[in-house]
Structure 1
Amino acid sequence: MIKEYETKLGSVKIETEKTIIFEYGIPGFEDLKQFVLLEPEDTYPIMWLASLEDKKVAFPVTFPQLIRNDYQFALPQDLTEYLELEKPEDAIILSILTIPEKEDEITINLAAPIIISQKNHKGVQYLIENEEYKIRHLLKEELERSNAILSVQKDGE
């Protein structure tokens, strides 16, 4: 079934099975449970996790591995079961961006990724217990870091 919603990005038609349910909300937005992942071609790989209940709420998100090529963490068993994740491909992992006026001040939240199950369409924001990952990493610095890692790997070949 297709339903029309008003979002921060305008009016969108969404197949109801594409609705992502955050049963526990997202920290700071616990009352909002229904979201959709919008992928505008003109901003991809920046996408938008848009609330279907409050048209003023949408988070810019991207794949953290595109920014930090060695990004990894382990999910606890209870969360893996809740999301019905049997293999890594069952999950979509996203990080929230903060996009200020100055492009070189864009930050990415690597400490609390959004995990969406492709099997049951449930989503959670998970706080990683790893001091290496912070809530605000400068995007520019993370890209430079990843490029340095890649060039060291190429030199080693």
Structure 2
Amino acid sequence: MTQQPDGELPVIEFVAPLPGFPRHRAFALVRLDEDGLLYALTSVDDPGLRFLVAPPAPFFPAYAPEVPEEALELLGTDDLARILLLLVITTGESVAESTANQLAPILIDQVSRKALQVVLSGSDLPVRAELTAAA
């Protein structure tokens, strides 16, 4: 996702609210570093509500979850190439204590800007995977 020419960040609309945040559906994805490793998913209506997210590849190169068909239907696409996959990061006192939620990734259709957090039920993926595991 790139910034729009006028400097406005594109708004991402969740087709279903994030668990625990039923009133927040519009978010902006803000890059936090030059390498594109970390982003802040920030509520448009409440900028104090932010989630630290990251693409999985730099931390978990083998992470390739099977995306449920129902999730793609909710996003209005069947083209996996359009989907940006992000993991929610929980920060600890140090990087070694920070974790990523592999069980419930966020899927963003980069064309429509629709998003969904999906719980990959039936998988044994961890909710708290150590970020240093792939280092």
- TM-score normalised to the size of structure 2? 0.85
Q: Which residue of 2 aligns with 1:143?
A: 134
Q: Which has the higher contact order (CA 8 A, sep 6+)?
A: 2
Secondary structure of the 1:14 match is coil
Secondary structure of the 1:113 match is strand
Q: Which residue of 2 aligns with 1:29?
A: 21
Secondary structure of the 1:37 match is strand
Residue deviations 1:104-127 (CA, integer Å, cap 9, x gap): 101011000000011211111000
Does the 8 A contact of 1:59 with 1:97 survive in 2? Answer: yes
Match of 1:111 among 92, 103, 108: 103
Residue deviations 1:122-148 (CA, integer Å, cap 9, x gap): 1110001244311111111x214xxxx
Per the TM alignment, residue 24 of structure 1 is displaced from its structure 2 partner at its CA by: 1.8
Distance 1:43 1:49, change over 3 A: farther
Secondary structure of the 1:110 match is strand
Segment of structure 1 superposing worse, 42-51 or 112-121: 42-51
Per the TM alignment, residue 42 of structure 1 is displaced from its structure 2 partner at its CA by: 5.0
> CA RMSD of the aligned region, Å?
2.1
Q: Which runs of 5+ in 2 are unaligned?
A: none
- TM-score normalised to the size of structure 1? 0.74
Rounded Cα–Cα distance in structure 1 between residues aligned with 2:79 and 2:34 = 31
Does the 8 A contact of 1:84 with 1:119 survive in 2? Answer: no
Rounded Cα–Cα distance in structure 2 between residues aligned with 1:76 and 1:41 = 31
Larger helix proportion of the pair: 1
Distance 1:79 1:131, change over 3 A: closer
AA at the equivalent of 1:25 = P
Rounded Cα–Cα distance in structure 1 between residues aligned with 2:79 and 2:53 = 22
Structure ID, larger Rg: 1
Rounded Cα–Cα distance in structure 2 between residues aligned with 1:38 and 1:77 = 28
Q: Within 5 A, what are the aligned runs for 1:63-74?
A: 63-74=55-66
Q: Which residue of 2 aligns with 1:155?
A: none
Match of 1:84 among 76, 79, 84: 76
Does the 8 A contact of 2:104 with 2:119 survive in 1? Answer: yes
Per the TM alignment, residue 43 of structure 1 is displaced from its structure 2 partner at its CA by: 7.1
Q: Which runs of 5+ in 1 are unaligned?
A: 3-12, 145-157
